[in-house]
Every structure is written in C-alpha cells, then in structure tokens.
C-alpha cells in the first residue's frame, strides 16, 4: 500500500474510548495527519486527549461519516445498532466501515448497513495504547483484498496486524484480548513471590514488568518456539528447572489453556446473544 495514499485518507472514529485512542495514536505515527482524522462522542469526557493529539472533535456521528473514507465504529456492542441506524443513509460505496465492537458479527453489521457496504470486523487489544497491540481482522462479504491491505497499512504502527476468517476473532479475543489480563495476573504473582522472599514491593513490581516485557520481545524477535527459549534458560539442577517444576505441579499450563478456552467460549456466547439482539 502506497504510504502517500494513507496520508490522503480521511479517517473517522465513532466512539472515543481506549481502543479508539490507541488506534488513533498508532495511525498518527504513520503517514496520516491529525487534520485528516475526526472523532465523535456524545459527551466531551474522553475527547480532550484526542484534541491534545491535534485531532478535530465533534458530537455528530453523521459529520464523522460524511467527512471520512474509513470509519472505525468503536462503541460498546449494545450501541452498534443505534449508531449504524443513525449513519446508514450516509454510508456510500466509498466507505470502509470497521467495527471494533466485541461480539458483533459481520452478518449483523452487513444487515444494519446499506446493501453492498464494505464492512470489516477488527479485534484489537489494550496494548494498542503503546503501539504494541495484537490486532486481527476479518473482511465482510463485500470487502475486497485491497480493502484489507489498506486497513493493514493504516494499522501497522499499532502492533502486529493479521487477517483471518471471522471464526478466529473469538479465539483471538480469548488469546490476546483477555490474555493481556492473564499476563498481568502472572506479573503480579511474580512480584508478590519476590515480596514474600524479602524484596521491596515497588522494586519487585518494576522488575516483574521488565521481565515480562523483555521475555515477550525476545520471544517475538527471535522467532524461536517458547519451549526452545525456556530450555535455554534452564541449566541442569539449576534454579529455573526447580521453579518450573513447581509451576507444573500447580497446573499453570493446563489452567492457562483452560482460561483461553473459557474466554473464547464466552466471546462466542456474547456474539450469539448480540446477533440475536441487534436484529430484533
């Protein structure tokens, strides 16, 4: 995708929460200028931080749609039908509508939008706020490959951006959306283990966060399988293998797999409920 093309695009956000803000920050570190972005929200509560980035703000969703090529619908799932009903008569075939609402299916989006509308479902995660997100998107039935390429080009500064079938979106929610919280829980437990052994709390939490960050970057950048990196840390009869044995006794591996499974199943359940409610 030509970076010059990105710089000419008009980008709109309906909704001003953390996901919209994280995506907006990532887009601005690319070739999109703040003046070519606009964000709307019903109240001014979250709009100030967008203004600090130089992004124009409004309370009109219709104004955002009419002035944009790509529109991110970043509202709570139960508000999607209200928003799409409001803007649908202003959506044309030049628009790409990108929903980041959890559980709202592509078929629901396409049902609520005008016929042949280009819809894409995107699932980001919280580290988008620091441009280290994991984002997965699925194209609707009228979205072409070049629409996906354009979205990937726009979002590449937000973190890892991948495309897949819609059936993977709920798995991604369990793995990466919820997985962030699982990592935080593990980081907290690491730090508290150090506190138990006599280290001051502030230092323990600082070292735990850096440990998680460093391990993640090494895992990503080395391209090695986690098991290979883990074995490289273990020396025969050393400290790490003793600690790993304790983790295995506690069932950390099975518990983590079950946590991803539970979160995925919950995402699927919410999706079924959402699809039923959106179209009633």
Write the burial class of residue 112 (CB in 10 Å: 0-12 exposed, 13-18 middle, 19+ buried).
buried
In this structure, what CATH number is given to the domain that contains residue 205?
1.10.3730.10
Any domain includes 15? yes
Predicted TM-score (pTM) above 0.75: yes
* Residue 42 marked in a binding site: no
* Residue 202 marked in a binding site: no
3-state class (DSSP) for residue 144: coil
Both 53 and 155 in a single domain? yes
Domain hosting 147: range is 3-169
Q: What pLDDT does residue 140 have? A: 96
Q: What pLDDT does residue 276 have? A: 67
Any domain includes 270? no
Per-residue tokens: 12:
């709109």
Per-residue tokens: 124:
């980001």
* Residue 102 marked in a binding site: no
Both 140 and 213 in a single domain? no
Both 142 and 22 in a single domain? yes
Any domain includes 275? no
| Local confidence pLDDT in tens for the 280 residues of the chain | 455 566 689 999 999 999 999 999 999 998 899 999 999 999 888 899 999 999 999 999 999 999 999 999 999 988 999 999 999 999 998 999 999 998 899 999 999 999 999 999 999 999 999 999 999 999 999 999 999 999 999 999 999 999 999 999 999 999 999 999 999 999 999 999 999 999 999 999 999 999 999 999 999 999 999 999 999 999 999 999 999 999 999 999 999 999 999 999 998 888 887 766 665 5
Any domain includes 191? yes
Per DSSP bridges, beta strands 118-123 and 57-58 are: unpaired
Both 124 and 204 in a single domain? no
The total number of structural domains in the chain stands at: 2
Both 53 and 163 in a single domain? yes
* Residue 75 marked in a binding site: yes
Indicate the residue among 151, 169, 187 that finishes a domain: 169
* Residue 77 marked in a binding site: yes
Any domain includes 31? yes
> Nearest CA to 24 among 120, 80, 181, 35?
35
Any domain includes 35? yes
* Residue 14 marked in a binding site: yes
Both 125 and 205 in a single domain? no
Write the burial class of residue 49 (CB in 10 Å: 0-12 exposed, 13-18 middle, 19+ buried).
middle
Other CB atoms within 10 Å distance of the CB of residue 190: 17
* Residue 74 marked in a binding site: yes
């Amino acid at each position: 995708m030509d970076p010059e093309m990105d710089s000419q695009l008009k980008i709109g956000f309906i909704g001003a929460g953390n996901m919209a803000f994280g995506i907006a920050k990532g887009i601005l570190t690319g070739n999109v200028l703040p003046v070519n972005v606009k964000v709307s929200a019903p109240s001014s509560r979250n709009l100030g931080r967008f203004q600090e980035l130089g992004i124009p703000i409004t309370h009109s969703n219709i104004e955002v749609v009419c002035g944009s090529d790509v529109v991110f619908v970043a509202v709570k799932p139960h508000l999607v039908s209200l928003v799409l009903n409001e803007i649908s008569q202003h959506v044309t075939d030049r628009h790409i509508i990108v929903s980041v609402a959890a559980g709202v299916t592509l078929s629901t989006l396409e049902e609520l939008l005008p016929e042949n509308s280009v819809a894409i479902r995107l699932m980001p995660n919280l580290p988008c706020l620091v441009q280290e997100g994991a984002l997965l998107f699925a194209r609707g039935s009228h979205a072409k490959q070049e629409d996906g390429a354009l979205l990937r080009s726009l979002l590449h500064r937000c973190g890892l951006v991948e495309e897949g079938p819609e059936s993977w979106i709920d798995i991604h929610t369990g793995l990466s959306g919820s997985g962030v919280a699982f990592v935080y829980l593990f980081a907290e437990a690491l730090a508290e283990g150090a506190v138990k052994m006599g280290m001051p709390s502030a230092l323990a939490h600082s070292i735990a966060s850096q440990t998680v960050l460093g391990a993640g970057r090494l895992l990503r950048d080395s391209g090695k399988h986690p098991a290979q990196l883990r074995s490289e840390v273990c020396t025969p009869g050393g400290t790490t293998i003793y600690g790993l044995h304790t983790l295995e006794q506690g069932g950390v591996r099975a518990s983590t797999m079950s946590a991803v499974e539970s979160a995925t199943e919950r995402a699927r359940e919410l999706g079924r409920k959402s699809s039923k409610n959106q179209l009633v």
